[in-house]
Structure 1
Amino acid sequence: MKWTTPYWSIRLFIVVATAVSSFSATAQVSKTSPSVEVPSTKVTLGAIRWDNWSLDSPYGQVLADPGLRERVPYYTQRLPNGNLGFPGNTERALNADVHYAKAAGLDYFIFGYYLESAAWERDPGRAAALNRALTNFVRLPDKLGIKYALNFNLSFPSRDVPMVSAAISKALLGSDYMRTSDGSAPVFFLVNTLATWSKGLGGEQGAKAALNDIRDRVKATTGRDLYLVALLFNLPETGPVAHSLGFDAVSTYATALGANGKSLPYASCAALARNAWQAAAKDGSGGFLPTVTLGWDYRPALRDAQEKKNRKPNPDWCEAATDEEWTQQIRDAINEAANNPRNDRFRSVVIYAWNESSEGGWIQPTLSEGVRRLEVIANAAGRHPTIPPFKLAWPTRIDPKTCPVGSSSISTTTAGAGCKSANDLMTMAWPCPPGMQIAGEELRRDPSEEGEKIPIIWQERLCTPQSR
């Protein structure tokens, strides 16, 4: 089906516009204020999610390269046809994500939300599939205090305002939705080009009316006020316009770069972001959420035919960062968020990203990096919570006919030769979070996650706190 505004277009949005177009990509590293002046407890940390990772999605094959193991998510598995599967939207993966996020000191996820509307020739079924990760997150019985916020990744026409309002109201009925200091609910909108976004709502006056209508509808349904955040590019120019439309704060999805086919040291990429922060703080008339971009390099995504068709072919990219460079950037962002007097309602940092693996920004554990990025964020923010014991579970490549797992599980240490999983360089990395250790591993026989009657062998790993 042809989509007037395709569901994959969020990835194009980030490429065609740059968050730092007012600054040269070769700018010198700007001077920064000393780190850690502000306790991180005064600032919340949110991570952007892009959840088009599923077993039935061919998109994941862009990562099917041993040279990209630092990007390949911990949950990757080998499918019967030999391809890699990326079940990142399953409940077991979301349960692991919650524990990893808690260990990193994050406060909330920013879920990309796709309105299940048929407007502009869109497919509501496809939107529901893209929202599956959020659905499974909400179903988790224990989220360890990790909250969430919605990010409307696509623009929408005026007739969909009631549907937008209903989606927000439904989310606010639960206790896991993020709150600002005054109890309002933050809602993000990936606006990209303000003129185009507003056009779908009838122009600037229509956009103002739509935002007010959304506020009023949600208030009438839930009793909650909203804190609306526009994710923009070219902030010095677009930020003031967004505030005039009625957004309470502005931010950006990521610090994107140009299309000259060259690399930039991470220090230069970080400096570009800080320059944008300073410009937004100087020229803005409302709240501002600084974004920490952990990496930017979408060259692997060009292996997908659709991505190659819609992205610039010669992107610039950020070189890999050191732990120290990430730490500095995170602490600078925390200070920026805390010291801006217009952030009194919501002092927060947006981190790009939890799982933008093909685009170059991720926090989640990967095959070769393990939990490195979780540790960096936790150390930078000075947050090291104690996490209760829990189990990770994933399907193995063990033939059930050769492994005598009956009605009860068996220990991997006592299992016979037929219970050994095939060695696969591109799968099987479900690490315990930082501060936790493996306390036991067992195999069990159960149906597959698709509910098929034919059982498979699952591996369970018990993670427990390390003694300190």
Structure 2
Amino acid sequence: MHDYGIDFAVYDWYWAKENKPMLEHALAAYFQAKNSHLVRFSLLWANHSSTPESLDQFKRMVAYWIKYYFPKKQYYRIDGKPVVFIFSQEQLRERAKAFGMTSAALFKIANEMAKGAGLPGIFFVGSTEATEYWVKDYGPKNGYDAFSAYNYHRGFSGKYLPNKRFSHSFGELDAAYRESWDWILKESPLPYLLPATSGWSKKPWGGSKDPLHDNSVSTPETFREHLLAAKVRLNQYPEKTKRTVVICCWNEFGEGSYIEPTKTWGMRYLEAIKSAFPDN
């Protein structure tokens, strides 16, 4: 990763009802790697589940972060704060509501816990589509420090259009990202860590509801063009983007989104990153 310009990796991370992490094997392997110091790491809290079910469960999870992850030198930080990506703003809002809390209240508690451990706080990044409610209203009012996204399937420019179809090619998917980037960069009051994609195809997992959406696959060449378009936005908005692109994904083979070397493409996706960002 490091040799191809990748600075940090964001690991999907799950918290079980039994108050312990799930599917932590990738992080465990990372910690054992002798050269892990070359690529920093962060967590994407995959909160699209039934947790947290209570305030106590949330606090136990945050305490785990503070004890086992945040002290590590290679943890990715912004403004000195360890960064935690939130998969779903909506899911967290609904889970918090179920036990009489709000996202803002939970983040306040988490930040107080972090400060009690000698940290300056936690930098929470919420996933969002390019819609007015999440970007201009809910997120800024509920304790988020920045926005990004796991992935997009269609683009918006402020108004949520439920009947807008998903992309049917990588060209359409790329256009959807560009539409979303441009609206959020113009309208968001918070920083926006630019999400990028290597494509989409759910065929390995049985296919998307719209089969044509699974044609949204890239080549190393079209992926590079996508990254160059992202780079233009970084140069236009260096402060708002923190000059950061978050690529989905390293090895999400079940959804056709990967840059990990394969028999088909070899190292060409990684080479595309290095070519697009030669100074990184």
> Under a length normalisation based on structure 1, what TM-score does the superposition of the two structures give?
0.52
Conserved 8 A contact 1:236-1:276: no
**Match 2:42 to one of 149, 174, 181:** 149
Q: For residue 127 of structure 2, what is the aligned residue in structure 1?
A: 231
Say if 1:177 and 1:263 are closer, same or farther in 2 by CA, change over 3 A. Answer: closer
CA distance in 1 between partners of 2:76 and 2:114 (Å): 15
**Match 2:141 to one of 244, 248, 251:** 244
Higher helix proportion: 2
1:179-218 counterparts in 2 under 5 A? 179-180=77-78, 182-191=79-88, 194=90, 196-202=91-97, 206-218=102-114
**Match 2:59 to one of 162, 165, 187:** 162
CA distance in 2 between partners of 1:327 and 1:235 (Å): 27
1:319 to partner: Cα distance = 4.0
Deviation by residue 1:242-263 (Cα, 9 ceiling, x = unmatched): 1211101111111225999997
1:230 to partner: Cα distance = 0.6
Conserved 8 A contact 1:147-1:178: yes
Q: For residue 260 of structure 2, what is the aligned residue in structure 1?
A: 364
Q: Percent identity?
A: 21
> Aligned with 2:43: secondary structure?
strand
**Match 1:279 to one of 169, 183, 198:** 183
1:286-435 counterparts in 2 under 5 A? 286-302=190-206, 312=209, 314=211, 316-340=213-237, 343=240, 346-383=242-279
Deviation by residue 1:327-366 (Cα, 9 ceiling, x = unmatched): 222122233245336527x431110100111101101011
Q: For residue 157 of structure 2, what is the aligned residue in structure 1?
A: none
State yes or no: 1:178 paired with 2:71: no
Figure out how many residues of one structure are paired with residues of the other and give that number: 266
Say if 1:259 and 1:297 are closer, same or farther in 2 by CA, change over 3 A. Answer: farther
Greater relative contact order (CA < 8 Å, ≥ 6 in sequence): 1
Q: Which has the larger Rg?
A: 1
Deviation by residue 1:209-237 (Cα, 9 ceiling, x = unmatched): 10111111012114232211011335443
Deviation by residue 1:94-139 (Cα, 9 ceiling, x = unmatched): xxxxxxx1122100110011114337xxxx5xx43x1111122123
The code of the aligned residue for 1:360 comes to G
Conserved 8 A contact 2:10-2:43: yes
CA distance in 2 between partners of 1:238 and 1:254 (Å): 15
Q: For residue 106 of structure 1, what is the aligned residue in structure 2?
A: 6
CA distance in 2 between partners of 1:201 and 1:320 (Å): 36
Give the ranges of 4+ consecutive aligned residues of structure 1 lying more than 6 Å apart after TM superposition.
258-263
CA distance in 1 between partners of 2:106 and 2:243 (Å): 25
> Aligned with 1:149: secondary structure?
strand
CA distance in 1 between partners of 2:201 and 2:44 (Å): 23
Deviation by residue 1:257-313 (Cα, 9 ceiling, x = unmatched): 5999997332221111010011111221111111111111112211xxxxx7xx636
1:383 to partner: Cα distance = 4.6
CA distance in 2 between partners of 1:217 and 1:260 (Å): 42
Conserved 8 A contact 1:261-1:315: no
Conserved 8 A contact 1:262-1:317: no
> Under a length normalisation based on structure 2, what TM-score does the superposition of the two structures give?
0.84
Q: For residue 420 of structure 1, what is the aligned residue in structure 2?
A: none
Conserved 8 A contact 1:190-1:230: yes
Conserved 8 A contact 2:200-2:217: no
Conserved 8 A contact 2:170-2:215: yes
Which has the higher mean CA deviation after the structures are superposed, 104-113 or 322-331? Answer: 322-331
Q: For residue 32 of structure 2, what is the aligned residue in structure 1?
A: 139
Say if 1:270 and 1:326 are closer, same or farther in 2 by CA, change over 3 A. Answer: same
Which has the higher mean CA deviation after the structures are superposed, 237-246 or 258-267? Answer: 258-267
Say if 1:330 and 1:263 are closer, same or farther in 2 by CA, change over 3 A. Answer: closer
> Aligned with 2:72: secondary structure?
coil
Conserved 8 A contact 2:167-2:173: no
